[in-house]
Amino acid sequence: MKDFLTRRKLLTGGTITLGGLALTGCDALSASPGFRNFLGTGEGLTMAAQRALMFGQPLAREFSERDISPVFKANGTKNPNTPAYNALATGNFNAWRLQIDGLVERPLSLSLADLRALPSRTQITRHDCVEGWSAIGKWQGAQLGPLLQSVGLKPKARFAVMHCADNYGGGADMYYESIDLIDGFHPQTILAYNLNGQPLDIAHGAPLRLRVERQLGYKHAKYLMRIEMVERLDTFGRGQGGYWEDRGYEWYAGI
């Protein structure tokens, strides 16, 4: 019995010590960029697997009016509050323009009225924050795909980079995001100007935000100013394809 207790103590002590060492090691590994890249192979696998299973561009689930969340949580920047943005907001975004340029044949500049005059899509979808919460809202906007077709993509265009009017937390870096052409041409990928039947308010991204329904919330860039078609993403921000991607989050945010 004495022997048994000693063994147990040894085992418990050993397990705790080993566990502690392992966790300290894990934290050191977490801080190492090389190891983070190694862990990042999981993202590549997830993207390859999900894209392989997305036969025929399946849609994200659409809900009914009664599923709409009573309060749609606003997250990230809730007001860009820069002089340029405030001037646009004061003028009811009449002076606001969306530029579509980069690797396109016919660059375009659209007012909010131009966008509202285009055929629109309305979808009641679930917004999933990377933090874990979800909210359901009714979005209305112009599909991105036909717009990209109308400007004529050059053969080298692979990504759409969304340039935004906000700098999250008042920092030096402006918010930006990027999606590839698979999501760019997905029917539910829209430039939304209405939420729940009302013009988008400032907290939710006025005057225009991206909806890319098969990915997490941070991909749904708010306060859109410019869509630039590009071949590569490494020349923007810190080179990872988006504001949060530059801070360690996955570029493929389908999970």
Q: Does 132 bind other proteins (CB under 8 A)?
A: yes
Element (H, E) at 120: strand 120-128
For other proteins, the binding residue among 54, 84, 87, 117 (CB under 8 A) is 54
Q: Is 166 in the site for other proteins (CB under 8 A)?
A: no
- Contact stretch for other proteins (CB under 8 A) within 115-123, 133-141, 159-167, 225-233: 133-141
Selected binder of other proteins within 21, 59, 95, 117 (CB under 8 A):
59
Minimum CB–partner distance for residue 203 and other proteins (Å): 13
- The type of residue at 4 is F
Q: What is the closest distance, in whole angstroms, from the C-beta atom of residue 217 to other proteins in the complex?
A: 9
Name the CA dihedral angle for 27, 134, 213, 165, rounded to a multiple of 10 degrees.
-80
Phi then psi for 247, rounded to 5 degrees?
A: -110, 25
177 binds other proteins (CB under 8 A): no
Q: Is 30 in the site for other proteins (CB under 8 A)?
A: yes
Neighbours of 78 (CB within 10 A): 14
Query: Considering only residues 7-26, where is the footprint of other proteins by CB under 8 A?
Result: 7-8, 11, 23, 26
Amino acid at residue number 165: A
Question: What residues make contact with other proteins under the rule CB under 8 A?
Answer: 7-8, 11, 23, 26-27, 30-31, 36, 38-43, 45-46, 50, 53-54, 58-61, 63, 67, 69-71, 73, 126, 128-136, 213-216, 244, 247-250, 254-255
